[in-house]
């Protein structure tokens, strides 16, 4: 036992003589600072957005949370399952991309609404305005996932065609509302206020 103590004592003294505690603290500080700054580096998400707009009809996994309305709207997310996605600028309802469909196609078992609300959304990625149609998907009860309520350029109910509280399934045979898609129709000629 006495011998074991002596071995540990010698190795500890040898390590203390060969290494600097100050340099260890300096290296540890660099690693910690670097790992904190890494997420702040700019990342190009344009290619991911393009891929998202061409996503197949396969059902994506539902997210565990709903995205709240934040200042990120101005930044324009590219995530089809986020309320901050730029083409959802005036959406009010559940995202079909969280309900077994995609950002522009209805989930199986539902039908796209015959009538829709059409507006424009600004894409911060290229600085242009796009004409977007919001169609409800009808024929099932409410999906309940990814509820969004963004009201850019929305108007009160007496401006029926500019209000997004309407159930656009009203003209379908089955008027049960399930979720909402956002389909890009093309470039807008000018910004519509």
Partner 1 sequence: MSRWRWSVSALVLVSASAVASPTQDYVLNCMGCHGATAEGVPGKVPPLAHTLLQFMRSPAGRSYVLRVPGASNSRLSDVQLAAVLNWIAGNFGSVTLAVSTPPFTAQEVAATRHTPMASLRATRREVLKELAASGPAPSEDY
Question: Of 136, 168, 174, 191, which one is the catalytic site residue?
Answer: 136
Q: Using CA atoms, how far apart are residues 115 and 93, in angstroms rounded to an integer?
A: 16
Told to check if 131 binds partner 1 by CB under 8 A, we report: yes
Which of 45, 63, 79, 133 touches partner 1 by CB under 8 A? 133
Binding flag, residue 137, partner 1 (CB under 8 A): no
* Residue 136 annotated as catalytic: yes
Q: Does residue number 111 form part of the binding site for partner 1 (CB under 8 A)? A: no
Q: Site for partner 1 (CB under 8 A): how many residues? A: 21
Could you say which of 26, 50, 75, 171 contacts partner 1 (CB under 8 A)?
Answer: 171
SS3 readout for 92-130: EEEEHHHCCCCCCCCCCCCEECCCCEEEEEEECCCCEEE
Proportion of the chain in helix, strand, coil states, percent, rounded to 5: 30, 20, 45
Residues of this chain, 27-86, that bind partner 1 according to CB under 8 A: none
CA distance 71 to 154: 18
Rule CB under 8 A: say whether 130 interacts with partner 1: no
Q: Which of the residues 84, 86, 117, 168 is marked catalytic?
A: 117
Q: Which stretch binds partner 1 (CB under 8 A): 20-28, 60-68, 114-122, 140-148?
A: 114-122
Nearer to partner 1, 146 or 181 (CB): 181
159 binds partner 1 (CB under 8 A): yes
Is 168 part of the annotated catalytic residue set? no
Write out the H or E segment, with its range, that includes residue 15: helix 2-18
CB 63 within 8 A of CB 81: yes
Query: Is residue 114 involved in binding partner 1 (CB under 8 A)?
Result: yes
User: Partners of 117 in the beta sheet?
Assistant: 134
Structure tokens at 6: 């002596």
Residue 74: partners with Cβ closer than 8 Å, 6 or more residues away: 124
Show the tokens assigned to 145: 């996932």
List the catalytic residues: 117, 136
Q: Which positions touch partner 1 (CB under 8 A)?
A: 114-120, 131, 133, 158-162, 170-171, 185, 188-190, 192
């Amino acid at each position: 036992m006495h011998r074991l103590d002596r071995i540990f004592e010698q190795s500890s003294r040898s390590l203390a003589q060969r290494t600097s505690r100050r340099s260890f603290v300096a290296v540890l500080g660099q690693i910690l600072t670097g790992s904190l700054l890494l997420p702040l580096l700019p990342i190009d998400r344009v290619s991911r957005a393009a891929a998202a707009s061409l996503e197949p009809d396969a059902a994506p996994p539902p997210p565990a949370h709903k995205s709240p309305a934040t200042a990120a709207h101005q930044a324009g997310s590219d995530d089809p399952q986020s309320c901050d996605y730029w083409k959802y600028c005036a959406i009010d309802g559940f995202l079909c991309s969280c309900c077994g469909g995609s950002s522009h196609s209805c989930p199986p078992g539902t039908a796209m609404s015959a009538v829709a609300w059409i507006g424009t959304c600004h894409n911060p990625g290229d600085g242009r305005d796009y004409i977007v149609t919001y169609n409800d998907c009808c024929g099932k009860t409410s999906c309940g996932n990814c509820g969004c309520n963004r009201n850019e350029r929305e108007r009160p109910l007496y401006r029926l065609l500019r209000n997004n509280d309407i159930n656009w399934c009203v003209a379908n045979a089955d008027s049960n509302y399930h979720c909402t898609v956002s389909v890009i129709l093309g470039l807008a000629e000018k910004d519509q206020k």
